[in-house]
Structure 1
Amino acid sequence: MIKQACTKSDIAGVSFSIYPMSDNFVDIIKDSLEEVDTSKVHLKTDDVTTTVRGKLVHIFDVTKAIFMYAANTGEHVAFQATYSLGCPGDSTGDAYMAEDENPQNMEKIKDIKQFAGSKFSLYPLGGGDYMDVIYEQIDAMKKHVTVSPSHYSTRLDGEAVAIFNGLEQVFKATVEGGSSHTVMTVSISANSPSHKGVN
């Protein structure tokens, strides 16, 4: 077994997949990726997932924008992602880090109205009182969207932009609270037939 040496790094990463429930799914995915400004992150897509690496603010900006553009087509879109920051994890590749904290896509998407349902799970690894941290951040999400319990996760319902903004804030707060390696899994669905009568 190879033991990875940890170094101080602010590189965050996300591995995600987006699934438009449409015969036109290839164009929806490609058009969404092309519409988003990814100049401040490292982005690589393969046949399974897309990986985005860079500053936390920029990886959330990019994934939020990709989802918003895809959902704005009106098609049912599902999004699955795992966000991560800490060690073991990214410890090299600082060349992909934009120095500023200014998101490139926020102005274009901030006014898009799009109801979504979501579930997330937060994993503050390397800490002793992790359940207290998790409960604190679940409570913090209530400032952004409707929060309800769900098996193995926490359910969020509301505007998609608000969901992403809340997820970014609780992830950042967990990192700043001392978690040596923070992981968050997210599932988001927009324009689902199941949402009729919900929003």
Structure 2
Amino acid sequence: MDTCQTGTIDITGCRVSLYPMKDQFANHILTSINETNTSAVWQQTDLFSTLYRGEPASVVDAAAALFINARDPQTHLVGEFTFSKGCPGDHAGDSYLNGQQATPNIVNNQNKGTFAVDCKYSFYAFGENNYMEEIAAIVALADEYGLHPQSAHYVTLLSGSASQLFQYFEAALAYAHKHLSHYVLEATISVNSPSKAVPDHV
């Protein structure tokens, strides 16, 4: 079922690209895709990424599971995420919308998402005169989830568990879905980076 809201397509989407720094990386990515429950979203995997489209909570749930399922304690893993809703160039279709905001991966994400991650992200509110206020509201939410937001050039830095981070993304998108007609959240998430062991001055 597809719906429209105030003249824009009421579909949230996310493109996820995974980069496991290991041999046999393709099988690693495909295993994670297959382990992710996509019963509450529309899914497509192409040359560059896996796309989920549907309701905000369901899309975050699937994107979180894809990353969490791909985590290996011995592997440096990076995930690139682009969440978006309300793009004027979007169109109806290729989505799963039933009003339930279903999160079929939530138990898996909570149980397996206890590992530490680092994240840089940027939030964009389009067509809003008070866009800086909306961005500030989104960033302030990160404090409520214990993610210690820190400003850096062009991004905000976050650190915490994977479960905390994606719970925050769900809250951020819920806020954006309610207050904004068009937004984009871009995030890069890293786990097990060897750079964490390198002194800052190197």
1:156 aligns with 2:154: no
CA RMSD in angstroms comes to 2.0
Which residue number in structure 1 is paired with residue 10 of structure 2?
10
Going from structure 1 to structure 2, the CA distance change for 1:41 and 1:62 (only over 3 Å counts) comes to same
Which residue number in structure 2 is paired with residue 146 of structure 1?
148
Which residue number in structure 2 is paired with residue 3 of structure 1?
none
Which residue number in structure 1 is paired with residue 21 of structure 2?
21
8 Å contact 1:117–1:158 — kept in the other structure?
Answer: yes
8 Å contact 1:71–1:191 — kept in the other structure?
Answer: no
Normalised TM-score (structure 1)? 0.89
Output the CA distance in 2 between the equivalents of 1:109 and 1:188: 15
8 Å contact 2:8–2:181 — kept in the other structure?
Answer: no
Which residue number in structure 2 is paired with residue 102 of structure 1?
102
Q: Runs of 4+ in structure 1 displaced over 6 angstroms?
A: none
Normalised TM-score (structure 2)? 0.88
Q: CA deviation at 1:81?
A: 1.4
1:173 aligns with 2:159: no
Structure 1 gap ranges (5+): 1-5
Output the CA distance in 2 between the equivalents of 1:131 and 1:30: 39
8 Å contact 2:42–2:94 — kept in the other structure?
Answer: no
- Count of aligned residue pairs for this structure pair: 192
Q: Percent same amino acid among aligned pairs?
A: 31
* Letter in structure 2 aligned against 1:61: D
1:118 aligns with 2:119: yes
Which residue number in structure 2 is paired with residue 129 of structure 1?
130
* Letter in structure 1 aligned against 2:41: V
* Letter in structure 1 aligned against 2:165: I
Per-residue Cα deviation, 1:101-129 (whole angstroms, up to 9, x for no partner): 22000111202221100011111111101
Q: CA deviation at 1:17?
A: 0.7
Which residue number in structure 1 is paired with residue 3 of structure 2?
none
8 Å contact 1:118–1:186 — kept in the other structure?
Answer: yes
Output the CA distance in 2 between the equivalents of 1:139 and 1:95: 30
Output the CA distance in 1 between the equivalents of 2:94 and 2:71: 32
* Letter in structure 2 aligned against 1:141: A
1:77 aligns with 2:77: yes
Per-residue Cα deviation, 1:26-75 (whole angstroms, up to 9, x for no partner): 11101101111111211111111221111111110001001001114531
* Letter in structure 1 aligned against 2:103: P
1:44 aligns with 2:44: yes
8 Å contact 1:17–1:79 — kept in the other structure?
Answer: yes
Q: CA deviation at 1:9?
A: 3.2
- 3-state SS of paired residue (2:100): coil
* Letter in structure 2 aligned against 1:142: D
Output the CA distance in 2 between the equivalents of 1:74 and 1:165: 25
* Letter in structure 2 aligned against 1:93: G
- 3-state SS of paired residue (1:142): helix
8 Å contact 2:149–2:159 — kept in the other structure?
Answer: yes
